[in-house]
Structure 1
Amino acid sequence: MRILFVCMGNICRSPTAEGILRAKLDAAGLAEAVELDSAGTGDWHVGKAPDARAIQAAAGRGYDLGALRGRQVTAGDFQRFDLILAMDQDNLAWLEQLRPDQGAVPELFLARQGLAVDEVPDPYYGGAAGFERVLDLLESACDGLVAEVAARHGR
């Protein structure tokens, strides 16, 4: 299974989701079953590390985002990934516009699995509490994804 997380700049929400799910899959013995990546709909942060506040908040919960680097979503991602998870409606709409008309097309969803909200809010212009809220939401969503991967692999 191949999963891509998408937010606007690929420095806050989507790399956090990638780091959380990577750690949770590793803890569940399922790391080899899933290829993970994250990307942004915009190109402002291509090649850059995640936001320092995202790195710090994630590290406080035992997640390492330090090796991740920003990249922009490409049309090729629709061939490469089985599941593309957008963090909010704006990014989902952008992905729908980029989606090719033909060929293998992955499922597009908001990253809502197990969430009590409609979107994962962008913490970029806020303080530390916003990054903690993103972690809370994404930990919950990633627990649901781990359960789905485990079920697909008979565990």
Structure 2
Amino acid sequence: MVSVLFVCLGNICRSPMAEAVLRHQLREEGLVEKVRVDSAGTGNWHAGEPPHRGTRDLLADRGISVDGIRARQIGKQDLENFDYVIVMDNNNYGDVKKLARNETEIHRFVDFIPDTEYKEVPDPYFTGDFEETYRLVEAGCQGIIKTLREREGL
């Protein structure tokens, strides 16, 4: 089984959105049994909380479940237990890199979005634009599935 961990700042907007969307897409593709998906934040401010209301409402409108998703902080063990650690922005990248050993490969989420000019996934906690974030997350999760099919033979 391949494992994917999404990381953002507080683990209530972007990374749980990506976790829910990827799970949904994997289910649609018949791959849900082949990929373990989780999310975490670099901070612990929201530990134990459900995703942000903006994330929950947007996903509910699209029939995407957030059941069982609760905020948590990333730990060193996550870097050893996940095959793909995917961060949402450059600050997350730097924070995870400090936590990681040199051999840990950390991916930027935007690298899975074909033909994007975005350098980071904007944080809707600050921008208020959950739709923009969703569009990027949806495209990036499709790119992740494509990558997993190519690299992992799914």
TM (normalized to structure 1)? 0.91
Change (3 A) 1:152 1:123: same
Q: CA shift at 1:36, angstroms?
A: 0.6
Q: Say which SS state the counterpart of residue 31 (structure 1) adopts.
A: coil
Structure 2 counterpart of 1:29, which letter?
G
Show structure 2 runs of 5+ residues with no match: none
Partner residue in 2 for 1:150: 149
Q: Which moved more, 1:52-61 or 1:6-15?
A: 52-61
Q: Say which SS state the counterpart of residue 126 (structure 2) adopts.
A: coil
Structure 2 CA distance for aligned equivalents of residues 95 and 6 of structure 1: 8
Partner residue in 1 for 2:109: 111
Structure 1 counterpart of 2:144, which letter?
L
Q: Give the conservation status (yes or no) of the 8 Å contact 1:88–1:110.
A: yes
Structure 1 CA distance for aligned equivalents of residues 86 and 150 of structure 2: 19
Q: Say which SS state the counterpart of residue 144 (structure 2) adopts.
A: helix
Show structure 1 runs of 5+ residues with no match: none
Change (3 A) 1:149 1:9: same
Q: Which structure has greater helix proportion?
A: 2
Partner residue in 2 for 1:10: 11
- Structure 1 residue 69 and structure 2 residue 70: aligned? yes
Q: Which moved more, 1:82-91 or 1:54-63?
A: 54-63
Q: Which moved more, 1:24-33 or 1:107-116?
A: 107-116
Structure 1 vs Structure 2: percent identity of aligned residues? 39
Partner residue in 2 for 1:40: 41
Structure 2 CA distance for aligned equivalents of residues 152 and 108 of structure 1: 16
Deviation per CA, 1:84-141: give whole Å up to 9, x if none: 000000000000101135xxx44201101125111000000333xx101111001000
Partner residue in 2 for 1:19: 20
Q: Say which SS state the counterpart of residue 125 (structure 1) adopts.
A: helix
Partner residue in 1 for 2:132: 133
Change (3 A) 1:152 1:100: closer
Q: Say which SS state the counterpart of residue 85 (structure 1) adopts.
A: strand
TM (normalized to structure 2)? 0.91
Partner residue in 2 for 1:99: 100
CA RMSD in angstroms comes to 1.5
